[in-house]
Amino acid sequence: MKQVTQEAWAKRPLIISGPCSAETEEQVLETAQRLAKTGKVDVLRAGIWKPRTRPGSFEGIGTKGLPWLQQAKKITGLPVAVEVATAKQVEDALHFDVDILWVGARTTVNPFSVQEVADALKGVDVPVLIKNPINPDLELWLGAVERIAKAGISQVGLIHRGFSSYGNTEYRNAPMWHLAIEMKRRNPELMLINDPSHICGRRDILLEVMQKAIDLDFDGLMIESHIDPDNAWSDAKQQVTPEKLAEMLEQIAWRH
Ligand code: PEP
Ligand code: MN
């Protein structure tokens, strides 16, 4: 594994941030620079291919956004993380030097897709984070971890992003904290990251969810940030500016 990725991977708490979606080169570069300036972020995230629940909304900028991330890394030194769901996406992400891959909640539910990603990773030493499936099914989550680990990936981590429920609830995705805790109990060696952005779906309760995750001894946080959150092309309601993120991280009572 690359030195910079190894260092970031070992950091606790590990803080991953960046936009839900890469939109334009300027947006990616400005977000990365403003995040780096806070000195509080270890990894830059950005969705390049967006698995939307229904068609018609922004489906991601695609491969053309990968050089923007490469450039952001060059300028800031931050390793970059991207979601992958197909063999071609894995191939493209690795071609453009993406440091950390993650499997999204809509992919973790599908063993065919997870296996395709796993097969594309054979012989590759890249860390992979696996989000919980959208439904509260621990076996599916475990199955995805096993498929990726069996491909020879030694650095596997978990992301808890909450679980879908029908109708309007306080959360966009119910945290069901006990499932994340049980997953960690069964896999104590795996890093467990909390994703408050997709749990909350809104900015105003982000901080309390972040604090809860830290109180429960999560290893890190993945939080979406955007230079102009209200005008983000996806997940506008839950994103915060890099400066707001820094302020929230300062408000947290850390355990260590
Ligand atoms: C995302 O991280 O932007 C995303 C699509 O998340 P999830 O897979 O958790 O819905
Ligand atoms: Mn998102």
Q: Is the pTM of this model over 0.80?
A: yes
The answer, yes or no, to whether any atom of ligand 1 lies below 6 A from the CB of 20, is: yes
Q: Return mean pLDDT, the chain.
A: 97
pLDDT of residue 2: 84
The answer, yes or no, to whether any atom of ligand 1 lies below 6 A from the CB of 226, is: no
| pLDDT tens-place string over residues 40-86 | 999 999 999 999 989 999 999 999 999 999 999 999 999 999 999 99
The answer, yes or no, to whether any atom of ligand 1 lies below 6 A from the CB of 47, is: yes
Closest ligand to the CA of 160: 1
DSSP 21: B
**Is the per-residue pLDDT at 122 higher than 80?**
yes
CATH class for the region spanning 3-9+14-251: alpha beta
From the CA of 45, give the closest atom in ligand 1: 2
Sorted by where each begins, the domain ranges of the chain are 3-9+14-251
From the CA of 105, give the closest atom in ligand 1: 8
Does the model's ipTM exceed the 0.85 cut? yes
Q: Is 101 exposed, middle or buried (0-12, 13-18, 19+ CB in 10 A)?
A: buried
Report whether 121 contacts 94 (CB < 8 A).
no
Q: Which of 106, 158, 221, 222 to mutate to test the pocket of ligand 1 (most atoms within 8 A of CB)?
A: 106
Q: How far apart are CA 218 and CA 215, in angstroms?
A: 8
The answer, yes or no, to whether any atom of ligand 1 lies below 6 A from the CB of 198, is: yes
| Nearest Cα to Cα of residue 1 among 159, 152, 132, 160 | 152
204: number of Cβ within 10 Å: 9
φ, ψ of residue 89 to 5 degrees: the values are -65, -40
Ligand 1 atom 9: residue of nearest CA:
105
Looking up tokens 């900015």, which residue turns up? 203
